[in-house]
Structure 1
Amino acid sequence: MWIFVERERRRPRAFWRLLVQFSVFFLLSAFGVLLVGTPAVLLGGTSTAAADAFFYMSTSIVSLLTLFASLALAARFLDRRRFRDYGFNLDRGWFLDLGFGALLGAALMAGIFLVQLAFGWITVTGTFDSGFEGVPFAIGILPPLVIFLCVGVWEESFSRGYQLKNIAEGLNYPALGPKGAVIAAWIITSAVFGLLHLGNPNASLLSSFNIALAGILLGVGYVLTGELAIPIGIHITWNFFQGNVFGFPVSGLTGIGGSFVTVEQGGPDLWTGGEFGPEAGLLDPIAVALGSLAIFLWVRLRQGRAGILAAVAEPPKAPEPSVRRAESRPDS
């Protein structure tokens, strides 16, 4: 039974926790997408901008709700920990880090936009485009805002909050130690993050490699603080500013709602990312390096130190022996 269960903590081992949580999340989200997908198809017939936006917005909300439901179940029945231990200790510092992450994600994407503009690789073709015929910009910008808010929260909660933490706990053996386990889990989850985007439109090996690097960037804040505030903030604004402020494709996806600026892409695909968007170009690794440095300096400024947090790989405390004896004693 030691292959399946941590006897001291009375919970499944890391591999089985990951498998069960993913299975529950997949089943719940598939059912939810089926429920909201049918109205989306009926709304737009085959495919219209409104139907696509409604579908993406609805499925993003479903993914967020079902992910949180699966995490709540996992916390109670698999991990034996509090939900907030996934990175949701929502104090003042958490929201301060969230704001920093949001500003950083926006700044990094603004830098990519300005570099391409300076080199003449993009041409601004319009402003305040609602994305829907006859719809005001203020309405057209709402669906992508909702989509990327939900995506930023649920993807970080899943990839960093649950997967990275549980993989780190599973790898926390003397040969690696807790910090080595956190680094290994950080690399593994980032690689998986990149592979999950390989099926996106116009994806390539370079785009998946770059998104894996983006996973490294998103993981920096988590492995330094044990909280999801910085990763969530970066993820939300990185996507929103990329697609709906500066008009780039987001991981190969285009035309989801309004955009503050619309552009015509030119220049070398190797640098710009072409039809996949900036995440497939060589500007992406530069942004990742600068962003990672900024996070390190921010955490050092806020906490007085910055280093891999060994606590990420430390499992919850085992029940007290007296509690276990009391639970095993038959009722009188």
Structure 2
Amino acid sequence: MAESTIDDSPDRSIGERLLYDSSGARLRALWRVLVPLLVAVAIYAAGQSLVNRFAAGLLEPIADGTSRVVATAVLFVALSAVIALAGVAGLLVASRLDRRPLSSYGLDVSGRWLRDFAAGILIGVVAAAGAIGYLAARGDVALSPSVTGVGVDSPPLGGLVVLVLLLFLLANNAFEEIVFRAIVIGNAVEGFRSGASNATVAVVGAVVVSLPVFGALHLLGGGPMAVVTSAIGGILFATAYVLTGRLALPIGVHFGGLADLSIRQQPLSTDPELTLPSVVVAELTGDPSFLTGIELWAVRLLLGVALICLWVYATDGEVSIADRVLATAADSER
């Protein structure tokens, strides 16, 4: 990998030195992280706000239960479209600024990609269920066999609701992995490598930088506790990304972790109340606490990382940082 020469030419203005890297031809990694991040999050937040405002006016006069469920399903489809648009916009801006093809961001779908995605779903399910099982063994959670639906009496409508909810959740998971793993970590690694001789140090630094940003995205939806637990989850998803260099495994692990929502029967909509179906229901035996949430995610992290490493070793024969994560834009263009 060719090293770039540092341009200390006095004719470069302070503004140029702040904006551009040592070659003078590309924006610094800081801006290649911030600009796509701001574009994606702005569209994500503004789009959801507009859809929710429209939905509030649409649902208010509807009293019939079935009609409210159908209207809510339409809302989730609209939210999925907005989230997908935000992810694509962020990816296009990043590709333009990075001067990299879109395929270099880990979305090059192939047979291997699909296998990683399927394995990721299984890993996410096992890690989430295992963490709840751990709390049950400690007596913090009571588990009971119970076949649940989604809160809809009509089987056809219930099936449609499940598909819509899964579409929404998958879109949200994919958005977060594209933005916070492929874009933020990918560019931050390159930025850290310019000042660090050790590639591992650069990757760890990039992951650490991505965690509070990822956690902050969940502040409005879940408060300070969601920020901390999301940051812990970010370590799990980042591990899947840096060990494969593809988004298939982290998206799969993220999506499979929805087993936690299913087992705990956490509503995805309150009026009407809609949940994911389950065959086992978990209930806290005491009042929910911050420490219990931290412990749940810590166990989930340990189980998930162990399973990710096993999968990567089984498919690659070794567990190491993927070359693609360490590649520069120049390498991607070759």
TM-score bin, normalised by smaller chain:
0.7 to 0.9
Using the TM superposition, name which of 212-221 and 173-182 deviates more.
Answer: 173-182
In structure 2, how many angstroms separate the alpha carbons of the residues matched to 1:300 and 1:173?
Answer: 29
In structure 2, how many angstroms separate the alpha carbons of the residues matched to 1:198 and 1:46?
Answer: 31
Gaps of 5+ in 1: 321-332
For 1:260, the aligned partner's letter is S
In structure 2, how many angstroms separate the alpha carbons of the residues matched to 1:120 and 1:209?
Answer: 20
User: Contact between 2:48 and 2:79, CA under 8 Å: does it hold in 1?
Assistant: yes
In structure 2, how many angstroms separate the alpha carbons of the residues matched to 1:162 and 1:46?
Answer: 42
Quote the sequence identity (%): 28
Q: Alignment partner for residue 230 of structure 1, among 249, 268, 278?
A: 249
For 1:137, the aligned partner's letter is G
Over the aligned positions, Cα root-mean-square deviation in angstroms equals 3.2
Residues 165 and 124 of structure 1, relative CA distance in 2, 3 Å threshold:
same
User: Contact between 2:140 and 2:286, CA under 8 Å: does it hold in 1?
Assistant: no
In structure 2, how many angstroms separate the alpha carbons of the residues matched to 1:308 and 1:158?
Answer: 19
Report the secondary structure of 2:17's partner residue: coil
User: Contact between 1:87 and 1:226, CA under 8 Å: does it hold in 2?
Assistant: yes
Alpha-carbon deviation of 1:101? 0.5
TM-score by length of 2: 0.79
Report the secondary structure of 2:121's partner residue: helix
1:17-58 CA distance string (max 9 Å, x none)? 222212322443355435533442233118997455543442
Alpha-carbon deviation of 1:14? 1.3
Alpha-carbon deviation of 1:224? 1.1
For 2:206, the aligned partner's letter is A
For 1:242, the aligned partner's letter is D
Q: Alignment partner for residue 199 of structure 2, among 149, 166, 178?
A: 178
Residues 277 and 232 of structure 1, relative CA distance in 2, 3 Å threshold:
farther
1:45-97 CA distance string (max 9 Å, x none)? 18997455543442233112221123123212x11001111112322212111
Where does residue 18 of structure 2 map in the other structure? 3
For 2:317, the aligned partner's letter is G
Report the secondary structure of 1:6's partner residue: coil
For 1:15, the aligned partner's letter is L
Where does residue 151 of structure 1 map in the other structure? 172
Q: Alignment partner for residue 295 of structure 1, among 308, 311, 325?
A: 308
Using the TM superposition, name which of 258-267 and 83-92 deviates more.
Answer: 258-267
Using the TM superposition, name which of 306-315 and 78-87 deviates more.
Answer: 306-315
Structure 2 residue 101 is the aligned partner of structure 1 residue 101: no
Residues 167 and 141 of structure 1, relative CA distance in 2, 3 Å threshold:
same
Give 1:1-332 correspondences, 5 Å limit.
Answer: 1-6=16-21, 8=23, 10-30=25-45, 32-33=47-48, 36-45=51-60, 50=69, 54-76=74-96, 78-117=97-136, 119=139, 121-124=141-144, 126-132=146-152, 136-201=157-222, 203-205=223-225, 207-239=226-258, 241-244=259-262, 246-249=263-266, 255-261=273-279, 263=281, 265-269=283-287, 274=288, 280-309=293-322, 311-317=324-330
In structure 1, how many angstroms separate the alpha carbons of the residues matched to 2:136 and 2:306?
Answer: 24
Report the secondary structure of 2:237's partner residue: helix
Alpha-carbon deviation of 1:307? 1.4
Report the secondary structure of 1:11's partner residue: coil
Residues 176 and 196 of structure 1, relative CA distance in 2, 3 Å threshold:
farther
For 1:265, the aligned partner's letter is E
In structure 2, how many angstroms separate the alpha carbons of the residues matched to 1:22 and 1:42?
Answer: 30
Alpha-carbon deviation of 1:302? 1.0
Residues 16 and 281 of structure 1, relative CA distance in 2, 3 Å threshold:
closer
Gaps of 5+ in 2: 1-15
Where does residue 6 of structure 2 map in the other structure? none
In structure 2, how many angstroms separate the alpha carbons of the residues matched to 1:247 and 1:53?
Answer: 21
Equivalenced residue count is 309
Report the secondary structure of 1:200's partner residue: helix
Residues 258 and 216 of structure 1, relative CA distance in 2, 3 Å threshold:
closer
